[in-house]
């Protein structure tokens, strides 16, 4: 008895979902027809496409010009060197943590040069969090 009622409700639900989907399709078709009929909209869409292409071309040329400048090259090199130094420091941190060998949660507050504090938390997995952000041990 209840099973039959459940089957009927499921059938009704699926039928209504299909009808809903079909109605949405019909609405989108009518909307597309209405938009296609307006010449002004089509003209504006074409103009937008052309302007987008012009903007992209200008951005590309400016990017190439910027990449060619000596100053930007120097900054990129400094960034790469700094990333390598950061990786070395992270490696040292994880080596020291391994030596610490604690198998329980650990927390440390470190004062930085600017007077602010960094919070380091470690859980036994070992996962290390600095200011709530996980530092992964590659």
Q: Model confidence over 37-57: pLDDT tens digits? A: 777 878 888 999 999 999 999
Rounded Cα gap, residues 76 and 67, in angstroms: 10
Is residue 81 situated within a structural domain?
Answer: yes
Q: Are residues 93 and 113 in the same domain?
A: no
Residue 107, in any domain of the structure? yes
Q: Are residues 95 and 118 in the same domain?
A: no
Which stretch, 10-14, 26-30, 95-99, has highest mean pLDDT? 26-30
Prediction pTM value: 0.44
User: For helices 70-100 and 39-68, what crossing angle results, to 10°?
Assistant: 80
Both 80 and 95 in a single domain? yes
Residue 80 belongs to domain spanning: 69-101
DSSP secondary structure of 38-107:
-HHHHHHHHHHHHHHHHHHHHHHHHHHHHHHSHHHHHHHHHHHHHHHHHHHHHHHHHHHHHHH---S-EE
How many structural domains is the chain composed of? 2
**Is residue 127 a part of any domain in this protein?**
yes
75: in domain: yes
């Amino acid at each position: 008895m209840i099973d039959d009622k459940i089957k009927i409700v499921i059938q009704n639900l699926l039928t209504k979902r299909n009808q809903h989907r079909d109605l949405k399709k019909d609405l989108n078709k009518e909307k597309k027809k209405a938009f296609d009929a307006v010449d002004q909209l089509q003209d504006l869409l074409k103009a937008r496409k052309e302007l987008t292409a012009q903007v992209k071309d200008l951005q590309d040329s400016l990017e190439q010009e910027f990449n060619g400048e000596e100053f930007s090259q120097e900054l990129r090199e400094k960034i790469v060197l700094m990333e390598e130094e950061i990786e070395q420091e992270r490696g040292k941190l994880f080596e020291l943590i391994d030596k610490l060998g604690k198998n329980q949660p650990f927390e440390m507050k470190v004062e930085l040069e600017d007077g602010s504090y960094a919070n380091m938390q470690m859980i036994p997995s070992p996962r290390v969090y600095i200011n709530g952000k996980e530092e992964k041990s590659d």
